[in-house]
Amino acid sequence: MEPLPNEDAFKFGSRLLQEMLAVKPPSFEARLAQKAQAAHGQPLRVLSICSGTAQVEAALLRSVITPVHLTLADINADLLARALSYMPAHVSTMSLVQDLNGMKLSQPYDIVICVSGIHHLVELEHIWRTLHDHTKRDGELWLIGEQVGPKGNCLAEPEYRVANELFCALPDHLRRNSVTGEVDQSLSNKDLSETTFEGIRSDEIETSLSRFFLPIEVYKRNCFLWRFIDLIYYQNYNLSDPDDKQLLKLLVQAEYAHHISGGWATELHGVYRPIY
């Protein structure tokens, strides 16, 4: 497999990994089409939490023509205002500006979507209970790209040991830190929850969710690959350079081998239904 035109290391590495894994992620577009068909022309009620600019949600909703009543919920009013510009014409939108740790909702939804946002929140039990009570009995909760690894976006000890050994063997130019400009001698494993809300309860997301929702389709990947091709390092890779491209493929192969041996996958894509 070769990089696509203008594809960066993060996208190429992620695509390589997905191709290798036997289990495939849920087709959210197909599930949305099924929901739209079952609605028989009635508007779908969709809630997006931790919406930001909701570009993923907008892309999904462009795949159907059924009317959609979309509620966007986030603490940042400016991002929600920007989100409106991405929505297709058949989507009517309202915004809820609130701290989602104290989430309040007033209507039931056919679909609840969260794109990589739950790991920023603290009051997981309140959030799941509120979403449960406002998801229709035949409705679904979609978690897309959620961080479910150790808290603070760390790697667990087995994953860190393997990842750091791989990292230290990389040439200097692939270990250059885009923030400091320095070549890192080892892979940082700092607990980001100590100073931010990044991954503050990420290791509790699935267990707390299981009290209120049942899994329909779950896909997990990425034990440590993301640490090599995140915002700190991904620009170091020149995919037109055969050596850089080969090193990235070797990292993907190491990720795959660790994953299938029982490694802690940190990236979750899942479809759930409320427990009744």
Q: Domain ranges for the chain, please list them.
A: 9-274
Residue 246: pLDDT above 90? Answer: yes
Q: Does domain 9-274 have CATH number 3.40.50.150?
A: yes
Residue 92's pLDDT band (cuts 50, 70, 90): very high
Cβ contact 109:138 at 8 Å: no
| 75 CB-near residues (< 8 Å, 6+ apart) | 97, 98, 99, 100
Strands (E), the chain: 44-49, 68-74, 91-97, 109-115, 135-147, 213-221, 267-274
Q: How far apart are CA 254 and CA 164, in angstroms?
A: 12
pLDDT in tens, 186-238: 999 999 988 888 899 999 999 999 999 999 999 999 999 999 999 999 999 99
**Three-state DSSP class for residue 189:** coil
Tokens of residue 24, six digits: 């495939």
| pLDDT tens per residue, range 8-56 | 999 999 999 999 999 999 999 999 999 999 998 899 999 999 999 999 9
Please state the rounded mean pLDDT for residues 145-149. 97
Are 22 and 13 in contact by the 8 Å Cβ rule? The answer is no
* Percent over 90 (pLDDT), the chain: 96
Question: What is the pLDDT of the chain when averaged over all its residues?
Answer: 96
